[in-house]
Chains A and B, each alone.
Chain A
């Protein structure tokens, strides 16, 4: 059963289309809350800005590359993503937060937790895939890196000085090696 897409999907679309007015609305609604949460928990205004920006870029990425469909309201989702990010950051800095748990988030719906969880997982996974990618041979890395730029593959072949057919063949082989590398890690 697919859940209904929430009307707040428009904020996600605003990020995709760089709709400045609507993105500004996101800031107006949520930036203050994230700022006070971070300030209250041993952070600075700059930290808050970094976290907020990172969260919005993560949401953009998930929307563009992972087809994010929001089934919960945008604001609690964003706030939850920001809070988790900041608590992780504190852990890295070995500072224990003032707000220990997510008690104050108890009124948030299950959908929101689920979506924040998926976002975090996919980000983590992408980082793992990138690590595996770094282990490939130089030629493979070059071919994959170029073909991921979103340009027409014919043009990529031209840039690399190979034929289109060779590029397809080589990319398939390189990607297969990568999948096997990742597969082995998961076993």
Chain B
């Protein structure tokens, strides 16, 4: 019976049933769940196969477009070979000295911070819910308006000091607005607690020290993040680079 239904479904879709048979099929379809499933499966298999087998003109045209754009956007930069005149040679050796100097001076030390400081984002909005003070604070925070976010989160934190999420984002806002000491106190407390923000706090602590190029303290905090925590891989990666 099952196999008949499969064939029957194929015949229905492919127009191989006469009018009376079609009606019978559609009638049965209204209450036969198995038949409904066969019909859905049939369309699914048919369209998948079509995707694989069709000589699709639109797809061919798109491929042409993509190949042209690939050359424009993915071309590997060709190294240019230029013969150096004696003047250029002099200039380039001077430049080389300069580069060496810069290498030693290394003003991009802050780069690691840029690389590893994932700007956290607050996700608090529930669909359809009314906008609360917390929502407003999160918008400010996500827009990186940290001083305004700090004011809003400060109030919320005062009203509910037990709220770990508020404490965490308040702490980050403090650090971002140069109230580093106060922010660290807050994050340290958070780390000592049991909330889900524990290791977020530890990572934020590490970032605050990394920003000041204080490697020992950065390492100290990174090492507090255990395997299994979300930030673990990133912390380990950074530890290797320090």
**Interface residues, chain A, with chain B CB atoms under 8 Å away:** 15-18, 20, 23-24, 27-28, 31-32, 35, 44-46, 48-49, 52-53, 56-57, 60-61, 64-66, 100-101, 103-104, 106-107, 122, 125-127, 129-130, 133, 144-145, 148-150, 168-169, 171-173, 175-176, 178-180, 182-183
Contact = CB atoms under 8 A, between A and B. Distances in A.
Contacts of A66: 47-48, 51
A172 B14 contact: yes
Interface string B1-29: 00100110111011110000000000000
A104 B45 contact: no
A65 B58 contact: no
Interface in B116-135: 118, 121
B14 A129 contact: no
Interface residues of B, number: 47
Contact of A173 (B7, B46, B59): B7
Contact of A172 (B7, B41, B50): B7
Given A149-B54, A179-B42, A100 B233 contact: yes
A62 B171 CA distance: 44
Interface stretch (B68-76, B88-96, B99-107): B68-76
B52 A18 contact: no
Interface of A is mostly: helix
B221 to A, nearest CB: 18
B66 A57 contact: yes
Contacts of A133: 49, 52-53
Contacts of B3: 176, 180
B48 A125 contact: yes
**A-B pairs, 7 with minimum CB distance:** A49-B74, A126-B48, A31-B73, A172-B10, A65-B51, A176-B7, A148-B53
Contact of A46 (B16, B44, B67, B74): B74
A27 B233 contact: no
Given A61-B59, A168-B15, A175-B42, A27 B73 contact: yes
A53 B52 CA distance: 17
B234 interface: yes
B142 to A, nearest CB: 10
Contact of A45 (B6, B14, B51, B76): B76
A49 B70 contact: yes
Contact of B58 (A53, A64, A173): A64
A13 to B, nearest CB: 12
A144 B14 CA distance: 12
A169 B66 CA distance: 40
B63 interface: yes
Given A23-B62, A129-B49, A173-B10, 11 more contacts: A35-B74, A57-B59, A126-B48, A129-B48, A144-B53, A148-B53, A149-B55, A175-B45, A179-B41, A179-B42, A180-B3
